Amino acid sequence: MTASYLLQSPADLSALNTMALACQAEQVITLSDEAQLEQILNAKHQHEPLFVLSGGSNVLLPPTLTATVLRPLLRGITVLDDRDDSIHIEVMAGENWHDLVLYTVNNGWYGLENLALIPGLTGAAPVQNIGAYGVQLDDCVTHVRACHLPTQTWHDFDKAACQFGYRDSIFKQQAGEWLITRVGFALHKDPTRVQAGYGDLQAQALQLANDAARQHINPVDVMQAIIAIRQSKLPDPKVLPNCGSFFKNPVIETAHFHSLQTQFPQIVGYKVDEQQTKVAAGWLIDHAGLKGGGIAPILSHEQQALVLTNHSAKNDPIQACQQDVAATQHFIQQQILAKYNIMLEREPVWIDRDGQINMSNTTLAS
């Protein structure tokens, strides 16, 4: 028999979003079993809004949430197919992402090591198609199981149906409509197969291999090097609240990039195709003199300009809110636009009071 879901009313969500923004929800429901969702949907009226909150690592919550908040904390990892050179697993949405990476690599199952130390839960990973150090989630995903909340129907997506793109998926395109409960992965068992050619990763991974008296990098070296790099550059949300990379790397016309190169010879960019170039947003912010800047209490991180951090203390009488983030976002966007003629796009998801996702890139209203 399926246990009843956990209901809290009202609930403080300030500790359940990594930006630590002040947010009061009128009602929060925690799921530990897929069958509980059917109970909830049967009990709710269709016009009542629902909002899915996973690990809280890529969202900007409003001061008050009138929608019913669903927290899918389903746990479990199942082996679907185990062969000599590969393994196919299915992971429940509530599994911590970094813990999953550690678990797979420590078991000799490889493919996720480049995505180590990304905060959040597994169910949220396909929405943003998380990526780092030359690897994206869709390199390993085989399927996703999700419930379409408006129609209360279950769907099993293969990789193609997920419509993955750069920090994109059908779940993001149809934001707020899906609750992901399971994600399938195809991983390999070849310790010589690594992706380590990104930035300073190769040098650090090679050093780890040499320290172990090995000439070749293995996936464990890659994972450990990435953990060390991220820890040296990125603030721990538990210590200094943040929601990871705040701005997307903008894709601009190559002619525009070449024009910028004449004025800024050191500008960092990566060719997308003959017509387009992806520019490093962190470089733009840093070289505009904005590293560590912003409008208090939300400031760009002093070691990684791409990350916005919340400097309001937990015991402050007034906690930082969504509007504070919007003010710093707008300030940085306008400075970058004036200097480089590039409009940066926000990566974290902006949530309105009724739980709806606001896709505006310059939202200032709370």
**Same topology between domain 77-188 and domain 242-358:** no
Q: What is the pLDDT of residue 46?
A: 54
Share of the chain above pLDDT 70, in %: 95
Instruction: Look up residue 18 and give its DSSP letter.
Output: T
Report the candidate in 93, 79, 108 with the shortest Cα–Cα distance to residue 33: 93
Report the candidate in 160, 153, 159 with the shortest Cα–Cα distance to residue 177: 153
Instruction: Render pLDDT for 64-110 as a digit per residue (tens, 0 to 9).
Output: 999 999 999 999 999 999 999 999 999 999 999 999 999 999 999 99
What topology is assigned to 77-188 in CATH?
A: 3.30.465
Q: What is the pLDDT of residue 316?
A: 72
CB of 123 closer than 8 Å to CB of 73: no
Q: Please give the full DSSP string across 305-354, using - where no structure is assigned.
A: TTEEEE---TT-SS---HHHHHHHHHHHHHHHHHHHS----B-SEEE-TT
Q: What is the pLDDT of residue 44?
A: 65
Show me where the domains of the chain are located: 6-72, 77-188, 242-358
All residue ranges of the chain with pLDDT < 70 are 1-4, 44-47, 313-315, 317, 363-366
Q: What is the pLDDT of residue 339?
A: 98
Q: What's 242-358's CATH class? A: alpha beta
Specify the amino acid at residue 364. L
Q: What is the pLDDT of residue 8?
A: 77
Q: What is the pLDDT of residue 7?
A: 78
Q: What is the pLDDT of residue 41?
A: 82
**Which residue in the list 86, 259, 347, 353 is annotated as catalytic?**
347
The reply to whether CATH 3.30.830.10 applies to domain 6-72 is no
The token pair that represents 95 in the structure block: 């599994």
**Length of the chain, in residues:** 366
245 is catalytic: yes
57 is catalytic: no
Q: What is the pLDDT of residue 166?
A: 84
Q: Please give the full DSSP string across 182-245, using - where no structure is assigned.
A: EEEEEEE--TT-----STTHHHHHHHHHHHTT-SS--HHHHHHHHHHHHHHHS--TTTS-EEEE
Instruction: Render pLDDT for 253-295 as a digit per residue (tens, 0 to 9).
Output: 999 999 999 999 999 998 989 999 999 999 999 999 999 999 9
**Which residue in the list 14, 169, 245, 312 is annotated as catalytic?**
245
**Which residue in the list 167, 182, 230, 346 is annotated as catalytic?**
167
Q: What is the pLDDT of residue 53?
A: 93
Q: What is the pLDDT of residue 6?
A: 76
167 is catalytic: yes
